[in-house]
Amino acid sequence: MGLSLTIITFSVPQELERDLNDAVKRMGFISRSEAIRHALRLLASELRSLDRLTGKVLAVIAVVYGKNSEKTRVCKVQHEYGDVINAYFHAHIESERCVEIMMVHGEADRVREFISGLRASRDLEQMRVIVLDQDEK
């Protein structure tokens, strides 16, 4: 018996469509749908990994966003979670983009909330989370 699939329709900016088409060609996916399924599996895996964290967590979070689009949202979230941010670096890349790298340390639930708050920023282009240490006490 075959896998039951649900059809989901969504919109993406032209730039992301070009990136998707490029990924299909370069990575050998048989279709755009298969590439999107792969990306969703990666997202689900990342979320499961973050959900498993307990105790104190030390992590590095890097975000890239448009210079004029999300600074207010990113700043607001950073202020709300200043208790877990130990170090912070901000730089302008190209003419209209910013990168921020944050070292965070705190209870797993609080770090997860911070990551979710950042991820909710609508125009966030990229975010990477690297968990460096976990004290499960």
Mean pLDDT in order along the chain per 10 residues (137 residues): 82 92 96 94 88 92 79 80 95 86 96 92 86 80
**Strand bridging mode 56-66 / 124-135:** antiparallel
pTM for this prediction: 0.79
3-class DSSP assignment, residue 78 = helix
